[in-house]
Amino acid sequence: MVNERMYGLGAEPSAIRELFAYGMARKAEIGDENVFDFSIGNPSVPAPEAAKQAVLELMEEPPCDLHGYTPAAGAPSVRQTVADHIRRRFGVPASPDQVYLTAGAAAGLAISISAVTKPGDEVIVIAPYFPEYKVWIDTAACACVEVPAHVPDFQLDIDALDAAIGPKTSAVIINSPNNPVGAVYTRENLGAFAALLERKEAELSRKIYVISDEPYREITYGAEVPYVPCVWPRTIVCYSYSKSLSLPGERIGYIYVSDLMDDAREVSTAVAGAGRALGFICAPVLFQRVIERCIDEPSDVASYAANRALLTKGLGALGYEFVEPDGAFYLWVRALEDDAQAFSDRAKAHELLLVPSDSFGVGGWVRVSYCISRETIERSMPAFKALMEEYRS
Amino acid sequence: MVNERMYGLGAEPSAIRELFAYGMARKAEIGDENVFDFSIGNPSVPAPEAAKQAVLELMEEPPCDLHGYTPAAGAPSVRQTVADHIRRRFGVPASPDQVYLTAGAAAGLAISISAVTKPGDEVIVIAPYFPEYKVWIDTAACACVEVPAHVPDFQLDIDALDAAIGPKTSAVIINSPNNPVGAVYTRENLGAFAALLERKEAELSRKIYVISDEPYREITYGAEVPYVPCVWPRTIVCYSYSKSLSLPGERIGYIYVSDLMDDAREVSTAVAGAGRALGFICAPVLFQRVIERCIDEPSDVASYAANRALLTKGLGALGYEFVEPDGAFYLWVRALEDDAQAFSDRAKAHELLLVPSDSFGVGGWVRVSYCISRETIERSMPAFKALMEEYRS
């Protein structure tokens, strides 16, 4: 008598979570140092000292004020700080009314999708894509339409999007820097995308929202990350401090409904409604205040950059094929056989935990998370070598 | 093009939130001390010192471990601690697998409702009821069936429930100690309810879940609060530390799917799935660990008890009719005219902010939250007096 869909989602946890759980058990069995766990995107860089100082200082405030409810959209001062930051940094006229603090980007995405779709609509995702997108699209009773990224650069494939956007399309979810590929969409690519959307809106007499999932915005290796609302006004940004400030478990981020869209107020009102509908009351308040104080804190990208160099150099020398990542902390590596799951299973025998690409909506690849210790990457190289030799022999 | 339901929910915030916002603006205008704000259930008792100490100690732990993701159901050690607590305190065989940590009771309720219903089912609520129940029932595409509480004691009305439970009923949401009335369901009343459910399950060949919303469990004035899973095995407890530890904004609580029900594993699996579907990743991790350390911390009920005495004595002397509360921190007062909204509006003219009963599903009453300072209650008495005189003249 339980809900079948919910039972199914609970019974089949995501491939990432499953491999992560396997890794925990395996480490307990044979020792942490003997498992090369590339499964999960849990930041390996510590949260900045400023975040700790913020918590310690805030804990001196009167507890009733500190821990009390805020309005559903967040504390007014925090929304103002976030809006000021967006305005200062990206040159868009961000107002605090258009900022809605969320329990991370996941909440932001689930809320945004439900806010701008009606049941039966279509939401486009770019494959490979973060698997939970499909779950939240299903929750909104919409169809998830997978459009492959352009190969080999994994930019948006404008022609494929042209073919996919139709009379039921309500939104396109994009994610740059990208999980799992590490691609960053160029200004030129986004410009072409915006031109397509403008044409499609006119042709279809329909609004098409871009939901821009941006938890990796700060994790880049030199590439420019254009601000999507500057390119396409009908953009909803879902931001998270999970990666930039290494606070993934604290669940803090925001939705910014671009002031530049002609229906900005309607969309932010629907966002507030969707938050209620999905059971959110307010974003965790202590960390609302932490991000207020840490809004200009730089992300520590150096150790991810070092890991990236180490891994790409090592796997390149061993003959692996991969996408050179411009951002995020994932390496997208070609599996050594067509069946990614089978390849992941064979890697497991070498204690290498690599997420098969199937759950990202494409076959034939694995995702290698390099937000781990440098030593693990170094010590994993013989295992990667043995795996390659196994396939070559 | 935005979702109409979500827009509607965003455009019409709850009456409670609306009055709260009015109060904030009014206080800015005429001074805090001149507004008697009885609108919201924000605890006025500070969080215990132990919670602060827990935060300060935890902040000394390595940040990557401290702030990292936990499994979706929560950190294993915290789930174990909660299960141990339930077992020790209530004598039920609680296992950690049946505990799912949530971002407060709101998340717990939204998740639980979606887990045990299918679209088109009916969920029963006891009027007057917390208005967001209806929102979350709507999200699960179910019908909200209002069954009035038994008057004048506001216990469960067994005959009315007998008439209401039918072939589409999936769940009954109960809330004891009750918001807004302050009633605590007696063991006898709950026993009769369980006997009814047993008969109905047999008659209808259908499982009927009780979703027990328990944020006020610790806020009582001498009444026994029977543990619902001991009375009816098919119970899902939605607990929150918002009121018991005065941490409402931190969003921390749990779902406990009773081990005593025959489908315990199916239900907890569906709960995990519903958490995913609604966009929850894990409960905020710092406060997961805080409640682990504060699990046996007693709630400070003394000041609510003093407020209760002061308010009931004062309003009683003025001739107001109300329900003597056994728990929570709300007084349910008969409006002085049939139209509760009109009464609330006239009270506003005396700077008294009282929530009209309409949004709780019944007419003719107001909810008076007494989780406020003693001084505010004392200073509000002339206003209550003037309001009464206005109606008598």
Largest distance between two CA atoms of chain B: 67
- CB contact under 8 Å between B279 and A284, yes or no, is no
Report cis status (omega within 30 of 0) of the bond before A128.
Answer: yes
Distances (CA, A) of B314 to A60, B163, B318, B346, B370: 36, 39, 6, 19, 13
Residue A252 near residue A241 (C-beta atoms within 8 A): yes
B74 CB neighbours in chain A (<8 A) are none
Secondary structure percentages of chain A, helix, strand, coil, to 5: 45, 15, 40
Choose among B319, B371, B312, B382: nearest CA to B37: B371
Indicate which CATH number applies to the domain containing B324: 3.90.1150.10
For B68, the closest chain A residue by CA position comes to: A249
At residue A17, the pLDDT reads: 80
B172 CB neighbours in chain A (<8 A) are none
At residue B40, the pLDDT reads: 86
- CB contact under 8 Å between A278 and B110, yes or no, is yes
- Round the average pLDDT of chain A to a whole number and report it: 96
Same domain, B25 and B60: no
- CB contact under 8 Å between B68 and A136, yes or no, is no
| Percent of chain A whose pLDDT exceeds 90 | 94
User: Which of A11, A138, A270 comes nearest B2 by C-beta?
Assistant: A270
Residue B254 near residue B288 (C-beta atoms within 8 A): no
Same domain, B41 and B54: no
Q: How many CB pairs under 8 A join A and B?
A: 266
- CB contact under 8 Å between B115 and A4, yes or no, is no
Same domain, A227 and A305: no
Question: CA A351, CA A315: separation in Å to the nearest integer?
Answer: 16
Residue environment code for A233-247, b if the CB has 16+ CB neighbours within 10 A, otherwise e: bbbbbbbbbbbbbbb
- CB contact under 8 Å between B47 and A67, yes or no, is yes
Give the distance, in angstroms, between the CA of residue B72 and the centroid of all CA atoms in the same chain.
Answer: 23
Same domain, A254 and A186: yes
Indicate which CATH number applies to the domain containing B165: 3.40.640.10
For A42, the closest chain B residue by CA position comes to: B68
- CB contact under 8 Å between B103 and A271, yes or no, is no
The string of pLDDT tens digits covering residues A109-126 is 999 999 999 999 999 999
At residue B14, the pLDDT reads: 78
SS3 at position B196: helix
At residue B17, the pLDDT reads: 80
Count other C-beta atoms under 10 Å from residue A126's C-beta: 27
- CB contact under 8 Å between A10 and B270, yes or no, is yes
- The token duo for A381 is 């190289």
Q: How confident is the model at residue A373 (pLDDT cuts 50, 70, 90)?
A: very high
Structure ipTM over 0.90, yes or no: yes
Same domain, B122 and B267: yes
Same domain, A280 and A245: yes
At residue A276, the pLDDT reads: 96
Question: CA B294, CA B241: separation in Å to the nearest integer?
Answer: 10
HSE, side-chain direction, 13 A CA sphere, residue B108: 28
At residue B20, the pLDDT reads: 84
For B208, the closest chain A residue by CA position comes to: A1
- CB contact under 8 Å between A63 and B72, yes or no, is no
Confidence check: pLDDT of B56 > 80: yes
The string of pLDDT tens digits covering residues B64-122 is 999 999 999 999 999 999 999 999 999 999 999 999 999 999 999 999 999 999 999 99
Q: How confident is the model at residue A20 (pLDDT cuts 50, 70, 90)?
A: confident
- The token duo for B137 is 């029932």
For B110, the closest chain A residue by CA position comes to: A279
User: Which of A139, A248, A278 comes nearest B67 by C-beta?
Assistant: A248
At residue B321, the pLDDT reads: 98
B68 CB neighbours in chain A (<8 A) are 42-43, 248-249
Q: What domain range includes position A139?
A: 50-293
Query: Which of A293, A309, A333 is where one domain is finished?
Result: A293
- CB contact under 8 Å between A6 and B274, yes or no, is yes
Residue A3 near residue B117 (C-beta atoms within 8 A): yes
- CB contact under 8 Å between A64 and B46, yes or no, is yes
- CB contact under 8 Å between B285 and A250, yes or no, is yes
**Amino acid sitting at position A112:** S
User: Which of B42, B43, B103 comes nearest A103 by C-beta?
Assistant: B103
Residue A87 near residue A302 (C-beta atoms within 8 A): no
- CB contact under 8 Å between B64 and A43, yes or no, is yes
Question: CA A282, CA B252: separation in Å to the nearest integer?
Answer: 12
CA distance B53 to chain A (A): 9
Angle at A41 between CA A40 and CA A45, to 5 degrees: 125
Question: CA B271, CA A110: separation in Å to the nearest integer?
Answer: 17
At residue A12, the pLDDT reads: 86
Residue B267 near residue B236 (C-beta atoms within 8 A): yes
Residue B196 near residue B163 (C-beta atoms within 8 A): no
Q: How confident is the model at residue A18 (pLDDT cuts 50, 70, 90)?
A: confident
Same domain, B228 and B205: yes
**How many structural domains comprise chain B?**
2
For B284, the closest chain A residue by CA position comes to: A250
Same domain, B340 and B220: no
Distances (CA, A) of B51 to A65, B246, B286, B288: 15, 10, 11, 11
For B136, the closest chain A residue by CA position comes to: A277
CA distance B369 to chain A (A): 15
The string of pLDDT tens digits covering residues B154-203 is 999 999 999 999 999 999 999 999 999 999 999 999 999 999 999 999 99
Which range among A77-91, A278-292, B3-17 shows the weakest confidence by mean pLDDT? B3-17
SS3 at position A43: coil
At residue A41, the pLDDT reads: 84
Report cis status (omega within 30 of 0) of the bond before B177.
Answer: yes
Query: Which of B293, B318, B353 is where one domain is finished?
Result: B293
- CB contact under 8 Å between A107 and B279, yes or no, is yes
Same domain, B19 and B135: no
- Round the average pLDDT of chain B to a whole number and report it: 96
At residue A15, the pLDDT reads: 81
Q: How confident is the model at residue A156 (pLDDT cuts 50, 70, 90)?
A: very high
Over residues B206-234, mean pLDDT = 97
Same domain, A111 and A37: no
**For chain A, what is the total number of helices (H) and then of strands (E)?**
15, 13
A64 CB neighbours in chain B (<8 A) are 42-47, 246
Question: CA B25, CA A76: separation in Å to the nearest integer?
Answer: 13
Same domain, B213 and B281: yes
B280 CB neighbours in chain A (<8 A) are 103, 106-107, 279
Best mutation target among A281, A294, A303, A376 (most B Cβ atoms within 10 Å) is: A281
For A8, the closest chain B residue by CA position comes to: B273
At residue A295, the pLDDT reads: 96
Same domain, A179 and A307: no
The string of pLDDT tens digits covering residues A178-204 is 999 999 999 999 999 999 999 999 999
Over residues A45-64, mean pLDDT = 97
The string of pLDDT tens digits covering residues B278-321 is 999 999 999 999 999 999 999 999 999 999 999 999 999 999 99
Confidence check: pLDDT of A13 > 80: no
User: Which of B6, B116, B135 comes nearest A1 by C-beta?
Assistant: B116
- CB contact under 8 Å between B69 and A104, yes or no, is no
The string of pLDDT tens digits covering residues B314-356 is 999 999 999 999 999 999 999 999 999 999 999 999 999 999 9
Query: Which of A227, A262, A293 is where one domain is finished?
Result: A293
A251 CB neighbours in chain B (<8 A) are 103, 251, 281-284
Question: CA A356, CA A363: separation in Å to the nearest integer?
Answer: 8
User: Which of B3, B206, B269 comes nearest A1 by C-beta?
Assistant: B206
Can you give the three-state secondary structure of A188-215, one letter per residue? HHHHHHHHHHHHHHHHHCCCCEEEEECC
Confidence check: pLDDT of B41 > 90: no
B135 CB neighbours in chain A (<8 A) are 276-277
- CB contact under 8 Å between A272 and B5, yes or no, is no
CA distance A285 to chain B (A): 5
